[in-house]
Structure 1
C-alpha cells in the first residue's frame, strides 16, 4: 500500500482553521477524513490526534514565549486527560460507527452553541455580568490563577471530560478545551486560547501514542495529513491578524453547525440504505 498523498489537502484546510481561529482543527479534520477519504470515526480519531498534537505544539511554543500560557492549569488538565484518553480510544473501537457519528454531531453542535454564546459575551461585555463566578479566579497582582480546592476539582473534571472525548471522537482541540476552561476560570481570551492549545498538544500526543501502540494508527493517511496540517497552521497564524476575530468566531460556529447537520444527514442516509438492502 502507498501513502495517500491526497490527505495533504484536507490537512492544509484543517491547519488553516486551527491557525486562524486557535481552535476547531479536530472538528474540521474528522468530517474531512470521513467524507473525503471515507474513513470511519474510529479510524479518523487517531489521525486527527496526531496532526492536532503536532500543530498545537508549534502554536504553543510562540504563546509560551510570550508568557500567556497558564502552564500549571494546563499541566493538571492535560495529565488527567492523558490518563483518560486511552479509555476513550478503546471504547471507540467497541461502538458502531453510526453511533459514534451521532455522538460527534451532538458534541459538535453543543460546543458550537457554547462558543457562540461565549463570543457574544466578549463582543457585549455587559453580558458578562450575568455569568456566575467560576471556581478558578485570576490574581490581579501576579497574573496567575488562585489555586483552591474547588478550582482544582474543576480543572480535574475538565481534564477527564477533555481526555475522554479526545480519545473517543478525536476532538482534543480548542472547541472542547476553551469551553471547559471558560467554565471553570476567568482567564482573558488570549490566555484562554493559549492555555487551551497547550492542553490540546499534550492530550493529543498521549492519545496519538496510545492509538499507535494499540495498532490503530493508519500511517499511510496520518503522515501526509499531519504534514498538510502543519503547513496550514503556519499559514493561518501568519495571516490571522488580517481578519476580524469576532467574524472568524461566528464563521467557525456556522461551519460547525453545518458539519453537525451534514453528519446527521449521513447517519439517516446510512440507516435508510441499510433498511432497503
Structure 2
C-alpha cells in the first residue's frame, strides 16, 4: 500500500481518535460513514471494521482517564455485562438487513441522541427535594423511624439504579452489535440524562463500556470477519494517537461545552448520513 493511499485512513483515524478522546464516544458515528462514503466499504464491512477501530481507541483513551477524571467502574461494568447477550443478537441481525436500512437506523438514532443532549444541556439537573419522614408511632422512637425510612429509600434507589443500568446496558449492547459502533453516542446521553452522571465522569465511564461492548460484538462476529487490514490498521493506529490529543483538548473545556459540542457533532453526522441514505433509495 503506497504512502499516498495511507493518508486517508490516517487522517480520518486521527479525527476519530480526537472525538473519542475528547467526548468519550462518538467515534463510531464518524468511523462508519467514513469507511462507507470515503473509503468505499460496504455497510457490513464498515460496521465490523468500526468495532475494531473504536474498541482499541476507546481502551487507549480509557487508560488515559483512569487517574484523571476517573471512571465509575461499577456502572461501567454493569452496562457492559448487561449488553453482552444483546450485542450478540444485534450482530446476528446486522447480517440480515440491507445497507440502506442499516444506515437509516444509524442516522435516526444519532439524531434522537443529539436532540436529547441539546435539550438536556439547557439546564442543570433539578435538585432532589427532601423527603419528609413520617412521625414516630407509639412503639417506635423517632430515631428508629428515620433509620427505617432511610433504609427503604436506599433500597428503592438502588433497585431503580440497577434497573436503569440494566436497561441502558441491554439497549446499547444491542445497538453496538447491530450498528457496529461502540455505543458512545448513546452511552453519553444515557449516562448524563438517565443516570444523572457529570459529563467528566461520563466520558471515562463511556470509554470503559465502549471497550467491553466492542469486544463482545467482535467475538460474536469471529466466524465471519470481513476486514481490510490495509485500511483498518493505519486507521486504528492514528485513532489511538488522536485520543491523546482529544483528551488534552477536553481537559480545557467545561462539561457544558463538551455536551453541546458532542450534540452538534451528532446532529451533523446524523443529517449527513440520513440525507445520503434517502438519496440512494
Relative to the length of structure 1, the TM-score reads 0.81
1:176-231 deviations in Å (ceiling 9; x for gaps): 11222234423322222221111111111222333344323333322121111111
Corresponding residue to 1:129 among 106, 126, 131: 126
CA distance in 2 between partners of 1:231 and 1:12 (Å) = 7
Taking only aligned residues, the RMSD between alpha carbons, in angstroms, comes to 2.7
1:238-260 deviations in Å (ceiling 9; x for gaps): 33334555444333322322222
Q: 1:7 to 1:66 in 2, by over 3 A?
A: closer
1:187 aligned residue: 197
1:59-118 deviations in Å (ceiling 9; x for gaps): 222333358322122112101212221221121111011111110110000011111123
The answer on whether the counterparts of 1:69 and 1:195 sit within 8 Å (CA) in structure 2 is yes
2:217 aligned residue: 207
- The 5 A counterparts of 1:87-236 are 87-121=89-123, 125=124, 128-129=125-126, 148-236=158-246
Corresponding residue to 2:263 among 244, 253, 271: 253
Bigger Cα Rg: 2
Q: Number of matched residues?
A: 254
Q: 1:188 to 1:245 in 2, by over 3 A?
A: closer
1:264 aligned residue: 274
Corresponding residue to 1:81 among 62, 83, 86: 83
Q: 1:185 to 1:49 in 2, by over 3 A?
A: same
CA distance in 2 between partners of 1:146 and 1:41 (Å) = 43
Q: 1:39 to 1:146 in 2, by over 3 A?
A: farther
User: Helix, strand or coil for the counterpart of 2:175?
Assistant: helix
Q: 1:11 to 1:114 in 2, by over 3 A?
A: same
Corresponding residue to 2:10 among 8, 11, 14: 8
Structure 2: segments with no counterpart, 5+ residues: 130-154
Structure 1: segments with no counterpart, 5+ residues: 133-144, 272-277
Relative to the length of structure 2, the TM-score reads 0.80
User: Helix, strand or coil for the counterpart of 1:156?
Assistant: helix
The answer on whether the counterparts of 2:20 and 2:27 sit within 8 Å (CA) in structure 1 is yes
Moved more, 257-266 or 240-249: 240-249
